[in-house]
Structure 1
Amino acid sequence: MLDIASRNGNAAAELRRMMRRAAHAVMATTAYDHKQVGDGWPVTSMVVPAAHIDGSPILLISDLADHTRHLQNDPRLSLLFTDGNIDPGRIDTDNARLTIFGRAAVADHVPETRQRYLQAHPDATQYADFADFGFYHVMVEAVYWVGGFGKQRRLKGDQFIIDGCQSLIAGHDDVIEHMNIDHADAIADIVEHFTDQDKNDGWKMVAIDCDGMDLECNSADSRPLRIEFIETIRSPGDARDILVEMCKKARAQMA
């Protein structure tokens, strides 16, 4: 279960991590020209979001889906994320869940939005360019977390989303290239110290965001690896500083 008292005391960061871990979400939209219910009826569907560098959700959805038509008429939505797998055979009030309230904006012509989604979901490249599919960026207005009976937290959108990280978005690819070309040894040492994976598997950084980094390796038995940062970053300079700090901790332990 999510520990709302995070390592760095940042509740919003822990909620963003919960969202990033989720394999899918339930989305609620307002019906428009629906074949079964009248306009204004609440309708839910399952979607596979990704999280942008600042923590805002990204969607790739088809114009053929009811929920896309609903959003084109009324961009308001809510997304429900759960922490871990819920057993449908029993009721467990201790299952953590996170609801994000926001508005969907078309983002087909925003390259970093597309890039971020496809980094998180590489299989989506098979249909991302179909004429009926489009990318949407969710502008978060409010967040509601329930961690079990009597445990809840409410945040405004600007408390959940990281501001001032445009330089990290713009410099994302340069950070990745620099780390993989010049500091592969540092990545390996960080993997060894902060995870239980083999540092010699040829790990490479594939993405970085305000809360952590995503790695992959050449081993057929390994899955993509997520390493969380101990504090929030906003710029390439912040990324350099936190990676240097993590590398120093890893090498101090090995000394």
Structure 2
Amino acid sequence: MSDDLEAPNCAALRRMCRVATNAALATIATGHKQVEDGWPVTSMVVPGTDIDGSPILLISDLADHTRHIAADNRVSMLFGPSANGTSATIETDTARLSVFGRAVRNDDAALRACYLRSHPDAAQYADFADFGFYRVDVDAIYWVGGFGKQRRLPGSQFIEADCHPLVLGHDDIIGHMNTDHANAISHIVSNHSDYDPDAGWLMHSIDCDGMVLSSHDTDSPPIRIDFPKPIHNPGEAREILVKMCKKWRG
């Protein structure tokens, strides 16, 4: 089986991580009560995704996988098709993405905020003494989209580089759009999704590949709208949002 020319681009592959509600995490056993050291052990985790596409974990020191990571931080994560994807997603019933990397403890406030934006309920235990945030520094990825469809990439190609300015400017972008351009957001929803544009949408978060919008309407779940190309800083964010609005204005 060879790399398929129709395999999705990196933004679409990162999207599989961004919309995932869970993932399988594989670690290397150390001091496990049931298997010898070096045995591969899998568990289920609730992942987040950093602005550049790097997976984020919030895990407890009491868990086997965290003790394994402390001894050997090499991990693999398996992401499958999402049940809440939109028509823009590339997932099929059999598509899956394996991410290989090293899980590194990271107490940066921006990383914490990024995870909690996706999983606000986790704030109830994120400050417990035994919990910590980990960023997975990606070494490689492997995507399989069905028979005869695959793609292998190094982490340096999968992860979008030079996104730190977007991390620093994230909150200012959100505040500016919601305060001054809520009307533009509703028109972007109208033009780039099948959702009701009059549901009172506000920008919840933004990353290199797109944005998540939330609504005051409790019957409308958060939605994701992807950008036509990756962005890296507030200036590029403004440029791409203006273009999306101009497309609506015709």
Question: TM-score range with shorter-chain normalisation?
Answer: over 0.9
Counterpart for residue 33 of structure 1: 31
Counterpart for residue 153 of structure 1: 151
CA–CA distance in structure 2, aligned partners of residues 39 and 128 of structure 1: 29
Cα-to-partner distance string for 1:5-47 (whole Å, 9 max, x where unaligned): 48xxx71111001111211100100001101011111000000
CA–CA distance in structure 1, aligned partners of residues 228 and 163 of structure 2: 17
Counterpart for residue 243 of structure 1: 241
CA–CA distance in structure 2, aligned partners of residues 139 and 116 of structure 1: 16
Runs of 4+ in 1 over 6 A off after TM superposition: none
CA–CA distance in structure 2, aligned partners of residues 4 and 18 of structure 1: 19
One-letter amino acid of the counterpart of residue 144, structure 2? V
Return 5+ residue gaps in structure 1 as ranges: 86-92
CA–CA distance in structure 1, aligned partners of residues 207 and 109 of structure 2: 16
Counterpart for residue 100 of structure 1: 99
Counterpart for residue 142 of structure 1: 140
Q: Is the 8 A contact 1:79 1:101 kept in 2?
A: yes
CA–CA distance in structure 2, aligned partners of residues 235 and 223 of structure 1: 27
Aligned-pair CA distance for 1:84: 3.3
Counterpart for residue 175 of structure 2: 177
Cα-to-partner distance string for 1:198-220 (whole Å, 9 max, x where unaligned): 22221110100000000101101
Residues 1:187 and 1:201: Cα distance change in structure 2 (over 3 Å): same
Single out whichever of 115-124 and 191-200 deviates more from structure 2. Answer: 191-200
CA–CA distance in structure 2, aligned partners of residues 146 and 5 of structure 1: 12
Aligned-pair CA distance for 1:94: 6.1
CA–CA distance in structure 2, aligned partners of residues 5 and 242 of structure 1: 26
Counterpart for residue 225 of structure 1: 223
Alignment partner of 1:191 is 2:189 = yes
Alignment RMSD, CA only? 1.6
Output aligned runs, 1:193-212, within 5 Å. Answer: 193-212=191-210
CA–CA distance in structure 1, aligned partners of residues 70 and 31 of structure 2: 11
CA–CA distance in structure 1, aligned partners of residues 118 and 64 of structure 2: 24
Counterpart for residue 24 of structure 1: 22
Normalising by structure 1, we get a TM-score of 0.91
Q: Is the 8 A contact 1:4 1:14 kept in 2?
A: no
CA–CA distance in structure 2, aligned partners of residues 133 and 231 of structure 1: 35
CA–CA distance in structure 1, aligned partners of residues 158 and 80 of structure 2: 17
Q: Secondary structure at the match of 2:198?
A: helix
Count of residues in Structure 1 that have an aligned counterpart in Structure 2: 239
Q: Secondary structure at the match of 1:221?
A: coil
Q: Is the 8 A contact 1:142 1:154 kept in 2?
A: yes
Normalising by structure 2, we get a TM-score of 0.92
CA–CA distance in structure 1, aligned partners of residues 227 and 81 of structure 2: 19
Residues 1:4 and 1:183: Cα distance change in structure 2 (over 3 Å): farther
Output aligned runs, 1:34-73, within 5 Å. Answer: 34-73=32-71
Residues 1:177 and 1:133: Cα distance change in structure 2 (over 3 Å): same
Alignment partner of 1:80 is 2:40 = no
Residues 1:229 and 1:4: Cα distance change in structure 2 (over 3 Å): farther
